[in-house]
Amino acid sequence: MRLTMRFAALSFCFAVLLSFSSCAPPIQGSGRNNPKDGLRYVWIANGSFEQGCSKFDEDCVSNEKPAHITTISKGFWIGQTEVTAAAYKRYSAATHRQLPPIPTFGDTVLNAGWAKANLPIVNVNWQESKEYCEWMGGRLPTEAQWEYAARAGTAAATYGDVLEGAWFGDNSGLMRIDAVAVKKANPAGYLGYLSQNKSTFHEVALKGPNSAGLYDMLGNVWEWTADWYGERYYDGAERSDPMGAPNGQARVLRGGSWVDTRNTIRLSIRGRREPGTRSVDTGFRCVW
């Protein structure tokens, strides 16, 4: 009887392993598909990292300082890609929630009818992003979780060659440009120049991943996080599993986007927008 029970337990554990779960903690970088939204998620093991301004990064601004050691005490699954139009349409059909407004930039419709399945969903506000993540069984990442996963062990300002790993102002349009020079020469006309160059966000996972196997952590679209934004939050932030400022008027965005210049496409950059904002350069990914 005891041997039968032990065999049954081992058989159950083996079956669980086949379904990408495990009787032991998952391995860093291992992946599994979420049956609810159909997207793939990657395991990020617990650990500590230096959060904030990277060493020797001359583009850092005050809200990225001081750099400090942050501990993430529990591992988590994070979306391998930004949430796609296809996944969001699946959510909309299941919940009868409206799709966000079709994105346009200048005179160009960027994803008519949300027909391009692998483009990231954009024009979603913070609450809609939060509700999607809750539907698929998770939540928005904290700012600290986002940076920990994005860094994937690197202390540098970016992972690899930014042109190879990110869509941003330089390479998101028909022609390669120097977005910093364009914006400096004509700040008021910068977005118009991008529009003429047919700049846009791109299908997920076309650029190279970081060392954890995550795509588009830099560039393509800004990503909502769970945290309220605090300008000087790092001055007194919790050092273990920080949850962000207790309140505020804006939520934290991370990663930069297809409209931004090279000096924004950095792992420590902290953006912010009011939670009701919709923008063609903002999407999200989930954790669970």
Task: Report helix, strand or coil for 137.
Answer: coil
Q: How many domains does the chain have?
A: 1
Position 282 confidence tier, pLDDT thresholds 50, 70, 90:
very high
Q: Please tell me the predicted confidence (pLDDT) of residue 173.
A: 98
Q: Please tell me the predicted confidence (pLDDT) of residue 237.
A: 78
Nearest to 150 by CA among 85, 236, 219, 231: 219
Q: Establish if 105 belongs to a structural domain.
A: yes
Whether residue 2 is predicted with pLDDT greater than 50 in this model: the reply is: no
Q: Establish if 137 belongs to a structural domain.
A: yes
Q: Establish if 215 belongs to a structural domain.
A: yes
pLDDT in tens, 220-239: 999 999 999 999 999 997 89
Least confident range of 19-28, 122-131, 276-285? 19-28
Kindly report the CATH number assigned to the domain that includes residue 29: 3.90.1580.10
Q: Establish if 19 belongs to a structural domain.
A: no
Percent of the chain with pLDDT over 70: 92
Q: Establish if 2 belongs to a structural domain.
A: no
Residue 59, phi-psi category: left (phi > 0), alpha (psi -120 to 50), beta (remainder): alpha
Whether residue 81 is predicted with pLDDT greater than 50 in this model: the reply is: yes
pLDDT in tens, 18-59: 444 445 678 888 999 999 999 999 999 999 999 999 999 999
d(CA 29, CA 48): 16
Nearest to 280 by CA among 160, 139, 108, 136: 108
pLDDT in tens, 87-108: 999 999 999 999 999 999 999 9
Q: Please tell me the predicted confidence (pLDDT) of residue 23.
A: 54
> What's the token pair of residue 40?
């793939």
Q: Establish if 7 belongs to a structural domain.
A: no
**Full residue range of the structural domain in which residue 215 is found:** 24-283
Whether residue 1 is predicted with pLDDT greater than 60 in this model: the reply is: no
Q: Please tell me the predicted confidence (pLDDT) of residue 29.
A: 81
Work out the average pLDDT over 260-281.
98
Q: Establish if 134 belongs to a structural domain.
A: yes
Q: Establish if 18 belongs to a structural domain.
A: no
> What's the token pair of residue 174?
């028909």
What is the pTM assigned to this prediction?
A: 0.91
What integer best gives the mean pLDDT of the chain?
Answer: 92
Position 8 confidence tier, pLDDT thresholds 50, 70, 90:
very low
